[in-house]
Amino acid sequence: MPPGGDPGTAGGLAARVAAVTGAPPRRVQPAGGQHRWQHCRVTLATGEQAFAKVAATGLDGVFEAEAAGLRWLADAGAVPVPRVLGAGPGALVVSWVDGEPASPAAAERFGRDLARLHAAGAGSFGAPWAGFIASLPLPNEPGGSWPQWYAAFRLLPFARRAVDAGALGPDGARLVEEVAGRLTALAGPAEPPARLHGDCWSGNVLWSGGRGVLIDPAAHGGHRESDLAMLALFGAPYLDRILAAYHEVAPLAEGWRQRVPLHQLHPLLVHACLFGAGYAGPVLHTARAALAAGG
């Protein structure tokens, strides 16, 4: 168990927060949870409001990877992200973000900000830290062209994991393997590594101060169309405004709309691994759509 006592008690939660921030908080309020950790609203010793994830056991680098991703995204100075106030095996503490409803103007600014974030780039596809998406390990080994990298570190490992979990059958696995084998033809024009959020679904965009704020990243160097496809997967508010504003700053390559299923295939495989066979149908449908787009 990481230092800080039993997270099932108020004192244990406070101790975990103190272990990564350096001082006991004034108050810790449980606020639900997901995966293998609990969410809390925290009043720090300084009086600052914060958000914390607190785990019952050590998570082998999940919180440290998220902290590294937040700092790397912040370095671009493009899209606002919470400040990391402390991170360790037992807890992650970040600055609090006051939410508000999305608006057309905020969506347009987010589109422009996201284009600048992607343009900040990355040294290679992947990242210099071990990655996670939700509670799942996310291979971040660098190298190769994007089609080679996406096949080796995003599609095939998660297809195998989904098969092993009983969430994806042989037909689905074969379709994903076919997509992976044809990626060079399906991927469109080559692009340099973009600085990606990596799990950019609508729930990971908070609206605050007239801007979109990114939370919960699985950050890495990747293809910029992946973040945009993820926004579309579960329906971001004012998506048409986001995309139009993005395109004004950084026009997308011809055929990008037809490549959306290709980029949605990995997050759907992740959902199959996390939530089971209910995602097998969407994986098959999306793999077939990705193949059809390639002619």
Q: What is the pLDDT of residue 1?
A: 39
pLDDT at position 117:
98
CA distances 194 to 92, 207, 221, 222, Å, are 26, 23, 5, 5
Task: Evaluate whether 81 touches 71 at the Cβ level (below 8 Å).
Answer: no
Q: 44, 61, 95 — which closes off a domain?
A: 95
| Amino acid identity, position 279 | Y
Contact at 8 Å (CB) between 286 and 258? no
Residues 50 and 125 placed together within one structural domain of the fold: no
CATH number at residue 121: 3.90.1200.10
**pLDDT value, residue 121:** 98
Pairwise CA distance, residues 129 & 44, whole Å: 28
Q: Which amino acid is at 13?
A: L
Name 40's Cβ contacts closer than 8 Å, sequence gap at least 6: 13, 17, 28, 29, 30, 31, 51, 52, 53, 54
pLDDT tens, per residue, the chain with 295 residues: 354 545 555 568 899 999 999 999 999 988 877 777 889 999 999 999 999 999 877 677 899 999 999 999 999 999 999 999 999 988 999 999 999 999 999 999 999 999 999 999 999 999 999 999 988 999 999 978 999 999 999 999 999 999 999 999 999 999 999 999 999 999 999 999 999 999 999 999 999 999 999 999 999 999 999 999 999 999 999 999 999 999 999 999 999 999 999 999 999 999 999 999 999 999 999 999 999 998 6
Please indicate, yes or no, whether residues 146 and 224 belong to a single structural domain of this protein: yes
Residue 30: strand pairing partners: 40
- Residues 163-189 have pLDDT tens digits of 999 999 999 999 999 999 999 999 999
Given the residues 6, 113, 171, 199, the one annotated as active site: 199
Beta strands 27-34 and 220-222 are unpaired
Residues 6+ apart with CB under 8 A from 99: 206, 207, 208
* DSSP bridge partners of 194: 222
In the three-class reduction of DSSP (H, G, I as helix; E, B as strand; rest coil), residue 23 is classed as coil
Q: Domain tally for the chain?
A: 2
| 2 assigned to some structural domain | no
How confident is the model at residue 67, as a pLDDT? 98
Active-site residue 199, yes or no?
yes
Domain with 70 in it: 10-95
Say if residue 88 is in the same domain as residue 110: no
Closest CA to 35 of 132, 158, 135, 138: 135
Tokens of 126: 């992947």
